[in-house]
Amino acid sequence: MPINEFLLSGGTRFLAEPIATTKAVAIGFWFFCGSRDESADSNGITHFVEHMLFKGTSSHSARDISRFFDKTGGYCNAFTEREALCVHCLVPSLYAVEAMRLLRDMTSDSLFITSDIEAERKVILNEIVSSLDEPEEQAADRFFASLFPGSTYSLPVAGTVESVSSLSETDLVSFWNSLVKNGPALVSVAGNFDVQQCKELLDSFSFNPSALQPSFQQEPKTGCFNFHAGFAGSYSPFSQTQIWSASLFPMEKTAESWYAGELLACIVGDTPGSRLFQELREKEGLCYNVFTSFLPTREGLYLISGCSVNHDAAEKTMGVLLSEFDKLRMSGINREEFDYAREHLTGDLLLSAEDTDTRMKRLARQYLYNKSVFGIDQSAGIIESLNFDCVHNISKKAFAPESMHIFTYGTKKAVRKCVKLLKC
């Protein structure tokens, strides 16, 4: 069935993908503000407000909210990212209207009771402290700080112990009033539901999303994202060395570039058959996990790769990585792996079609990407139409030294050995 797109009277965008063959509906309220839009002093405020949305409204207690979604057999959750905040739920179709009303209440009528704020602050501080024991999270924050020096992209999504401890009730309520209370910038819904009924319901909410939400700006802020090509290192207290890399992806934000980025990630390190997985794990036995992902930001597109290795294997791992990156720079990808990756993307797309939550989120992420949306069949057609020569040339450009940043997070010895290799 076709995707429906509406601009509601107050400015909220409504994306609806009806799926007749399911008995479920996934609903997402999206606010275009994330941790990258915070200052160091206010770091963590978006995530803190996200938590407070579940603490009760004038007509529903926190227990009421939990019990409603428990009753349906579904769930309600939320997440804060660097680019956005989303409150979402998955329920049987017969609860679609009630669930949408409750999401509206949670986001537009939160109470922010002092005792609840202080209780939730403790929860968040526990969350932050536990993340200090997560090497991947610590590596990611330091990696982005070295990749985009001077930007706020490296700020921890949940904030720091110091910043969250200093956020006042006035700070939280002011943020909510400015960026959340007046409604989401985008509502995405996928599943078995009445499109017209939901549109009329959303219109009745009289949303008026704030123009202060950063992604509403026609142009991103200048000067905040200066990509730093080269290499950097940071010393780690953990038991393994983390090696991360970023490659500039030289395409405009189009439907084709979305899937070209996913396809190249698949070839480089996102699947068990990928180059990095085969070389680092299957052939050399250097690591357990390796990844490559396509990262769109408001300013640009990037391929991010990474792995965790024992400290004494860091130098050899770096050598293998540099060798693989050189092969991509010199020779690009080949036709066989291009066809394999294209089939993988199509298969993954078709399998995900059974998941209403995935389809709801895909709608929103596509709109965030370049303000266009495309359904399953159209997406499969775009993947099929990808041009080998185009992706081949992109792979050579993306892994050129001037387009790459490599970061090592490990012991002094491991970092120094990796940096020495990079300087050769």
The CATH 3.30.830.10 portion of the chain extends over 4-216, 230-423
pLDDT digits (tens, 9 = 90+) for 96-116: 999 999 999 999 999 999 999
Distance CA 206, CA 204 (A): 5
> Tell me, which fold does domain 4-216 have in CATH?
Cytochrome Bc1 Complex; Chain A, domain 1 (3.30.830)
pLDDT for 288-309, tens place per residue? 999 999 999 988 899 999 999 9
Domain 230-423, CATH homologous superfamily name and number: Metalloenzyme, LuxS/M16 peptidase-like (3.30.830.10)
Confidence at residue 179, expressed as pLDDT on a 0 to 100 scale: 93
| 355-to-29, 54, 153, 361 alpha-carbon distances in Å | 18, 25, 30, 10
Q: Residue 24's pLDDT is what?
A: 98
pLDDT at 225: 64
Residues of the chain with pLDDT under 50: 216-224
Give the whole-angstrom CA distance, residue 104 versus residue 89.
Answer: 12
Yes or no: say if 198 and 100 are a contact pair by the CB < 8 Å rule: yes
pTM as predicted: 0.93
